[in-house]
Amino acid sequence: MKWRTFRNLMFHSLGIERCYKPRILIERPNAGECNQLEWAIASHLIDNPEFRFIQIGAFDGRTCDALHRAITRFGLKGVLVEPQSSAFARLSETYRDQPQLKLINAAVSTESGVRSLYTVRGESSLVASFDRQHLLKHGIAPDRIDSEEVRCMTMEELLDAAGGHVDLVQIDTEGHDFEILQSMNVDQLKPQIIRYEQLHMTRRQRDTAARRLADLGYRLITDKMDALCYLDRAA
For residue range 138-152, list pLDDT tens digits in order: 999 999 999 999 999
The H or E element containing residue 52 is: strand 52-56
Alpha carbon distance 177, 131 (integer Å): 12
Q: What is the pLDDT of residues 57-102, one digit of tens each?
A: 999 999 999 999 999 999 999 999 999 999 999 999 999 999 999 9
Q: What is the pLDDT of residues 183-209, one digit of tens each?
A: 999 988 899 999 999 999 999 999 999
Q: Under CATH, domain 35-109+158-231 is a member of which superfamily?
A: Vaccinia Virus protein VP39 (3.40.50.150)
Domain ranges of the chain: 1-33, 35-109+158-231
Quote the radius of gyration of the chain (alpha carbons, Å).
18
Closest to 183 (Cα-Cα) out of 200, 196, 192, 193: 196
Q: What is the pLDDT of residues 12-36, one digit of tens each?
A: 776 777 767 788 877 787 777 778 8
CA dihedral 89, 91, 97, 100 (to 10 degrees): -120
**Would the pLDDT of 108 be above 70?**
yes
Strands 145-153 and 107-108: parallel
The H or E element containing residue 194 is: strand 193-197
Reported pTM: 0.88
Q: C-alpha distances in angstroms, 104 versus 49, 161, 206, 215?
A: 24, 9, 28, 32
The residues facing 195 across adjacent strands are 170, 228
